[in-house]
Amino acid sequence: MFTTGRIIFASLFAAVFIGYLIWAYAKDAKLSKTYYKGAGYILLILTAIWIAFYTFVKLT
């Protein structure tokens, strides 16, 4: 089912793909700090609203 060639190809493909993902993330992390400043606060606010809504619904 899995030949030696397929195993070599799959491992090389996975290594190159993971390497590209790491490179792209490192490149994009610099821009994310600039454009998404304060996104964590919005996430916290939305989570708090969701929890408040959930508890309100469960209490009634």
Q: Token digits for 47?
A: 């989570």
Which is more confident, 13 or 40? 13
Task: Please tell me whether the overall predicted TM-score, pTM, comes out greater than 0.75 for this model.
Answer: no
CA distance 40 to 55: 23
Identify the pLDDT of residue 43.
93
Q: Which DSSP string corresponds to 30-52? A: HHHHHHTTTHHHHHHHHHHHHHH
The average pLDDT across 17-29 equals 92
For 33, the domain range is 4-59
Q: Does the pLDDT of residue 28 top 90, yes or no?
A: no
Question: pLDDT tens digit string along 29-45?
Answer: 877 777 778 888 999 99
Helix (H) or strand (E) run with residue 26 in it: helix 4-35
Count structural domains, the chain.
1
Q: Residue holding tokens 């490179």?
A: 23
